[in-house]
Structure 1
Amino acid sequence: MLAFVNQPIYEEATKSKLLVAIRLLAARTNWHAPEKCLEYFIQMLVDVAPKNNYIPKNYYEAKKLASKLGLKAEKIDCCMDGCMLYYKEDKDLTECKFCHSPRYLPPKVGKVRYKNIPVKRMFYLPIIPRLQRLYASMETVRQMGWHHKNKNNSTDLRHPCDGEAWKHFDHVYPDFASEPRNIRLGLCSNGFTPYVQASTNSYSCWPVIVTPYNLPLEMCMTKPYFFLTCLILGPHNPTTIVDVYLQPLIDDLKLLWDCGVLTYDISTEQNFILRAGLMWTINDFPAYGMLSGWGIKGKLACLHCMKDTKAFQLDNGVKPSWFDCHQRLLPADHPFRKSKRRFTRNKTKFDRPRYFLKGDQIWKFIHNFPKATNGSLSNMPGYGQLHHWFKRSIF
């Protein structure tokens, strides 16, 4: 593989064979160029280049060369209703073990089918090889330690590494923080409709993107470092069963956290054990509820206030309102506590700020709750009155 990286397309050329192949594939992706169009331009490049050139002769050769990078996409069959993935020990099943729906489409009458066609499929792009590639390039390996070398002692927040969450994480897991090359990750997910103009039927597609935060801000917030890991195809919103589709990603994240993977660092020319930790998720409120397992409808929608919510219903309204519920979050001696004009008129609030539960306290409450990966979910005792947990999140 290294020979292709350094092999010029012809003598005294500055571009390598691999670079040309990748740019050809990028042209097809970015501008939706047909395969025949690429074949035409490839042939034109071959004709104008010197005779003894190493330009890929066709689209297939370029694709085959790029595949040697090892960054493949896995196609995983799914249950039609999202009950399960045909994954790991279930990969050979022909029907869903929960709802018993078939895995494959039935063959058409009078036609011979040489390959089974799955009813539904998702795509998983393994995150581990792409994180390892960050240490295989001299351009990125120098920047992966930026968060450690550029610590900020002031109160200015320039980068997530200056925030309280990052510092708290380092304090709780000093063994992880002692190796600057370990990667801090953020996960983002949301749905969109890709066929707005093409069809009147609703269709929801959910990408799951992982971002490394070791890099400086001008790099980690750019497109090359938004790693698409899962692509959950519709037609329906995954809602409460999104955990089913996240299983391959979570398995890789657990491996990176618990054991780590052997990785080559090109700057030191040595191997090391690369670990990674998921710091947070970034999403809107509905997706927040889907990932956390807390229902976001009704009076108990606030995950911080929980059962101690101050939500109320307006006289002429149907939906609950949280107007002025944030006043009690202020410190007890804050001057706004006494204000009778800035919040609810002619009222003051001196009750204590809400005590936010810690992770171990939440886990103690929900550790016996069902998981979406174990089949259909049902409301747990106390749902709607004492809590809004509808599942135990895969996170």
Structure 2
Amino acid sequence: MDKDWMSKNKLSHEYEVGVESFLQFALGNATNPNEIPCSCTRCGNLQKINVDIIRAHLCCNGIDLTYHKWIWHGERYPINNLMKDEQKSFAKEPIDMVHDAFDSYAENPNQFHKLLEDVDKPLYPGCTKFTKLSALVKLYNLKAKYSWSDKSFTDLLSLFGEMLPDENELPSSLYDAKKILCALGINYVKIHAFPNDCILYLKEYENLTNFPVCGTSRWNLGKKAMLNGFPAKVLWYFPPIPRFQILFRNKEICKDLTWHADKRVLDGYLRHPADAPSWKVVDHKWPDFAAEPKNLRLALSSDGINPHSLMSSAYSCWSVVMITYNLPPWLCMKRKFMMLTLLISGPKQPGNDIDVYLAPLIDDLKKLWDIGVDS
């Protein structure tokens, strides 16, 4: 009994020393000593109080054992480390991007050779740091990162073109830049749709000009619209399979796709979809699928947006976004991993008829499930 009492007393003393060390660290990094997040098991860093109350909470409730890195109290290293890991995953040279796009140009080798020329062509005569394509890719990444408007990016390209030496290869407008960059991107498909969301003009309906039930035209009313072939409604479909292939071709991202199986902490806390009961149900129903951690677990999300940013406008279009849950929690909800798969034109929401628009996506997902695709 004496040994047990002494052991407990020693542990209690060590805990008190640890609490004081933690509180001193938090005070040293606090902007307001009366508003410090409490890391006890009940507050979980959600409640901000003064040090004396935090000390009492930690003694009565104990500290949250999952709080290993004190990121809410001034310890910055883990966040920076995650940012470096994320940046490392996307550090990709333009020549690698061109090689990834090779399969898309099997039927058009001349255009692929044009891409290779842009990779090697100096930005201006005598330039050794940037090529035409590498400079454009870096500038466009900045545009996306800081949400520059199209007009501001065009003005920037124009100004840079005047600053650079004569005979430089930098495009003078966003339009010219996109013509170069689109060659690196993923193709999309425009699919005509019935205005009332009944069918897509695919498969057996592909060559129809009128809906077989009510006879409504496939095209916009008006002679000019019909002559120019303007459809009454359009679905923009961005096939996910080529983008999945790009994920697996990147060595760093390919490692991250197995994070849920290799590096996830198994302590009963819900931090990732892999900790949820629904994930375990899938593992139980399809054990062969669960046996390979690289098999993708996907989620779909849809919402309406007003593309013109006018509250008075009734027009809206609906987007369907796909999310890959294999990735670590700090990556799976990043914009660069959220894949836009469908864009349903307005002006009305599809409602319960959204299943009509999901048909091409479902076909591709069935192909992945039943047959599979080489990366």
Q: Under a length normalisation based on structure 2, what TM-score does the superposition of the two structures give?
A: 0.60
Correspondences of 1:96-111 after superposition (within 5 Å): 96-108=211-223
Cα distance between partner residues in 2 of 1:18 and 1:48: 18
Over 3 Å counting, the alpha-carbon distance change for 1:7 and 1:172 in structure 2 is farther
Q: How far does the alpha carbon of each residue in 1:237-267 deviate from its partner, in whole angstroms, 9 at most, with x for none?
A: 212211111111111111111111110xxxx
Cα deviation, residue 70, structure 1: 4.1
Over 3 Å counting, the alpha-carbon distance change for 1:196 and 1:153 in structure 2 is closer
Q: One-letter code of the match for 1:84? A: I
1:191 match: secondary structure? strand
> Is residue 2:199 matched to residue 1:87?
no
Correspondences of 1:43-122 after superposition (within 5 Å): 43-50=158-165, 53-56=168-171, 58-108=173-223, 114-122=227-235
Cα deviation, residue 205, structure 1: 2.6
Over 3 Å counting, the alpha-carbon distance change for 1:175 and 1:148 in structure 2 is same
Query: 2:122 touches 2:130 (CA, 8 Å); kept in 1?
Result: yes
Which position in structure 1 is the counterpart of 2:341? 229
Over 3 Å counting, the alpha-carbon distance change for 1:57 and 1:193 in structure 2 is closer
> Is residue 2:276 matched to residue 1:153?
no
Aligned counterpart for 2:250 among listed residues 137, 161, 164: 137
Which position in structure 2 is the counterpart of 1:249? 361
Cα distance between partner residues in 2 of 1:33 and 1:197: 18
Aligned counterpart for 1:17 among listed residues 113, 130, 133: 133
Cα distance between partner residues in 1 of 2:226 and 2:129: 48
Cα deviation, residue 65, structure 1: 2.2
Over 3 Å counting, the alpha-carbon distance change for 1:25 and 1:119 in structure 2 is farther
> Is residue 2:284 matched to residue 1:171?
yes
Cα deviation, residue 72, structure 1: 2.2
Q: One-letter code of the match for 1:161? A: A
Cα distance between partner residues in 1 of 2:288 and 2:185: 30
Cα distance between partner residues in 2 of 1:21 and 1:196: 28
Unaligned runs of 5+ in 2: 1-97, 100-115
Query: 1:22 touches 1:66 (CA, 8 Å); kept in 2?
Result: no
Q: Which has the higher contact order (CA 8 A, sep 6+)?
A: 1
Cα distance between partner residues in 2 of 1:151 and 1:171: 19
Cα distance between partner residues in 1 of 2:122 and 2:327: 30
Q: One-letter code of the match for 2:372? A: G
Unaligned runs of 5+ in 1: 264-395
Higher helix share: 2
Cα distance between partner residues in 1 of 2:197 and 2:142: 32
Which position in structure 1 is the counterpart of 2:65? none
Cα deviation, residue 82, structure 1: 1.0
User: Larger Rg: 1 or 2?
Assistant: 2
Cα deviation, residue 62, structure 1: 2.1
Cα distance between partner residues in 2 of 1:26 and 1:75: 29
